[in-house]
Amino acid sequence: MSEDAYPDTATAELFARYVAPNYGRFAIDAARGEGCVLWDEEGRRYLDFGGGVAVNSLGHAHPAQVRALGRAAEKMVHCSNLYRPREQALLAAALAERVVGFPGKCFFCNSGAEANEALIKLARRFGEVAPRANGEPRREIVTFTGSFHGRTTGGMAATAQAKIKAGFGPLMPGFKHLPFNDVAALRAGVGEDTVGVLLEPVQGEGGIHVADLEFLGCAADLAREHDLLLMFDEIQCGLGRCGEVNGWQAVGDARGIVPDAISWAKGLGGGFPIGATWFKDRPAGDGRLCDLLGPGSHGSTYGGSPLASTVGLAVVETILDEGLPGRARELGERIVAAAEGWGSRLVREVRGRGLMLGFVLDPEAVAACDGFAESGRTPALFVIDALHKGGLLTVPAGTDVVRWLPPLTVSDAEVAEALERMEVVLAALTGGGA
């Protein structure tokens, strides 16, 4: 272990001096994690139901992940994409065969935003090989209000939230934003220049909004009718989190929908940075969609390294072999039922699927709580601060939603403990009553 160069300086002070202030951070100096528990530097124990914002799919220090990290690190951490590390192909095979269940190929990168960049580049290429009637390339990608697709320039342009884009113009052209879950607007919004539709089957950052089955079906129908790419951002909602292997399958009986392309990150590495984009094996111009990004068209130095791929495969296999999607579904239903039983006036509804849940707060009821006015916080941050004091970590989505995104490995006892802690905190905020 290297010596701590600043033994007498608090972590908060080091952050203030040396770390860019681009995140709104809570005053928690996270030190160590195990399973669903996180300890801070003072040794305070928290139940981690934020799960690193849907990243820690297996919790902290899961043996399968730790073993994979050690094994891969000893063998070969990195190998250029000029060569063929077998681990990368094995992860691609698992994603195509076991996750999507449809022939296709994967590109690997290191984050969600990058995985979406690959979707955007795929759509741009597709627009060239499948152009408009007049031969001009199709360029427009439709995305939806409340979406979040990342912080890169492409991701920001794709994201239909003004607060994400503000102050960073000029933004990349080629995106049209339509209202989420509005079938008529979607039908009317697809035009000659449209080349693809990109959506989160369950929106995360936008406040946990589940796509209607009819809306998903409409997007799939339009994609077929107009030869558009149907692209699902499964970065937060995919890989078991929503109670099915794939997020779109958790929306309802998704009528055999298989998108043309998918992006994953977050839970894929369980905390190790990895992103992936899957391209369906289907016609595209004179070739196949899965081969459209040919040699030299796209890349990422670290993408799909042996280390990242080994860890990703261990995580995916653990999720599937241990039936964690089904467990997420069962626990999600239990949590929603329990929360409805609280009858707290602070919570309007609990929405989401599986272990991707949003407690939608009543802003006026929160505003009436002691201490709210002086806090200067949004309703979500005010409640989350109180939950932190009660030993439960959760994360906000927008101003009014408290998200639960615990590890898929969370135990029955931990779920019961988190429910109890939240119930107690909400009751205390309302002066002991519901």
Ligand X SMILES: Cc1ncc(COP(=O)(O)O)c(C=O)c1O
Residues in touch with ligand X (CB under 6 A): 111-113, 116, 148-150, 200, 204-205, 233, 235-236, 265
CB of 220 to ligand X, least distance (A): 19
CB of 127 to ligand X, least distance (A): 22
Q: Give the position of tokens 């998108």.
A: 259
CB of 323 to ligand X, least distance (A): 24
84 versus 163: smaller Cβ distance to ligand X: 163
Instruction: Provide the angle, in degrees to the nearest 10, between the axes of the packed helices 63-75 and 306-321.
Output: 150
Tell me the helix, strand and coil percentages in the chain, rounded to 5: 40, 20, 40
Take residue 283 and report the two structure tokens written for it. Answer: 């016609």
CB of 53 to ligand X, least distance (A): 6
- DSSP string across 363-427: HHHHHTSTTHHHHT--HHHHHHHHHHHTTEE-EEETTTEEEE---TT--HHHHHHHHHHHHHHHH
Buried b (16+ CB within 10 A) or exposed e, 381-409: bbbbbbbbebebbbbbbbebbbbbbbbbb
CB of 111 to ligand X, least distance (A): 4
Element spanning 309, H or E: helix 306-321
104 versus 204: smaller Cβ distance to ligand X: 204
356 versus 429: smaller Cβ distance to ligand X: 356
145 versus 375: smaller Cβ distance to ligand X: 145
17 versus 163: smaller Cβ distance to ligand X: 163
Which parts of 31-179 fold into alpha helices (H)? 51-54, 63-75, 86-93, 112-129, 153-158, 162-165
Take residue 225 and report the two structure tokens written for it. Answer: 């009718």
Amino acid at the residue 360: V
148 versus 279: smaller Cβ distance to ligand X: 148
Rounded alpha-carbon distances, angstroms, from residue 366 to 251, 287, 361, 397 = 30, 56, 7, 16
Residue closest to ligand X (Cβ): 112
Cα dihedral 263, 267, 270, 271 sign: positive
CB of 238 to ligand X, least distance (A): 9
CB of 148 to ligand X, least distance (A): 5
194 versus 236: smaller Cβ distance to ligand X: 236
Q: Give the position of tokens 């073993």.
A: 67
120 versus 347: smaller Cβ distance to ligand X: 120
Are 75 and 294 in contact by the 8 Å Cβ rule? The answer is no
CB of 110 to ligand X, least distance (A): 8
